[in-house]
Structure 1
Amino acid sequence: MDLHERAERLAKLMEERLDIRGEGLATKTRRAGRRIPRWVRRELDVLVEALERVDHPKLAQQVDYARIETGTRRAEGWLENVDAWDRRKSVLIHWLAGNAMNILIVIAIALALMGWRGLI
């Protein structure tokens, strides 16, 4: 499997598992932000840099294919183990918990004001 096919596979996994849209691996890696660990981002950056060099005849000699092979295998393994449903569920739970806390604070302030004004 050449570098372009690996990049396509990783970009597809990022779109399926992490819901990251964009064109190409470089854009998706940049947009991923904190959704992926630092070491995965580092490995993907190495692959993106290699993709830029591999098309140039003299710069292609500088590409370390062994490091890219191990790095992409590790990144692909991490991306395959991401459970998209569990990630979406936890995002929804955190959003609901934050909103519930805000509603409780507003109710507590309203009750405190009503008590202070003598309406309760």
Structure 2
Amino acid sequence: MDLQDRAETLARLMEERLDIRGPDLAAKTRRARRRVPRWLRRELMALVQALEYSRHPKFAARIDHARIETGARRAQNWLEQVDATDRRKSLVIHWLAGNAFNVLVVIGLAVGVMAWRGLI
């Protein structure tokens, strides 16, 4: 599998599994930020840089294909293990839990102010 095919596969997986939109792998990697581990961003950026180097004949010789292939394989394995539905479900649960906590804090403050003013 050449670099371009590998990049397209990883970009498709990022869109399917992590809901990251973008025109290419470079844009999706920049948008991923905290959704992916740091080592994965590093490997993806190495692949993006290798793609840029492959367009120039002198720089193409500097590409470490073994490292890029190993990193791309690790990235693909990680992305294939991500469960998109579980990720979405946990995002909704965390959002609801945060809002429930905020409502409880506001109610507690309101009761505290009412008690302080002697209304309770």
Query: TM-score, normalising length from structure 1?
Result: 0.96
Q: State how 1:13-24 maps to structure 2 within 5 Å.
A: 13-24=13-24
Once the 2 structures are TM-superposed, how far is the Cα of residue 55 of structure 1 from its aligned partner? 1.5
Once the 2 structures are TM-superposed, how far is the Cα of residue 116 of structure 1 from its aligned partner? 2.1
Once the 2 structures are TM-superposed, how far is the Cα of residue 117 of structure 1 from its aligned partner? 2.1
- The answer for the alignment partner of 1:40 in structure 2 is 40
Q: State how 1:1-120 maps to structure 2 within 5 Å.
A: 1-120=1-120
Write the distance in 2 (CA, Å) between the matches of 1:8 and 1:62. Answer: 22
Write the distance in 2 (CA, Å) between the matches of 1:103 and 1:4. Answer: 49
Runs of 4+ in structure 1 deviating by more than 6 angstroms, as ranges, are: none
Q: Point out where structure 1 has 5 or more consecutive residues left out of the alignment.
A: none
Identity within the alignment, %? 69
Once the 2 structures are TM-superposed, how far is the Cα of residue 118 of structure 1 from its aligned partner? 2.4
Write the distance in 2 (CA, Å) between the matches of 1:82 and 1:25. Answer: 18
Q: Which amino acid aligns with 1:112?
A: G
Q: Point out where structure 2 has 5 or more consecutive residues left out of the alignment.
A: none
Q: Which amino acid aligns with 1:28?
A: K
Q: Which amino acid aligns with 1:76?
A: Q
Write the distance in 2 (CA, Å) between the matches of 1:7 and 1:99. Answer: 38
Once the 2 structures are TM-superposed, how far is the Cα of residue 10 of structure 1 from its aligned partner? 0.3
Once the 2 structures are TM-superposed, how far is the Cα of residue 61 of structure 1 from its aligned partner? 0.6
Q: Which amino acid aligns with 1:2?
A: D
Write the distance in 2 (CA, Å) between the matches of 1:67 and 1:109. Answer: 56
Q: Please give the secondary structure, in 1, of the residue aligned with 2:29.
A: helix
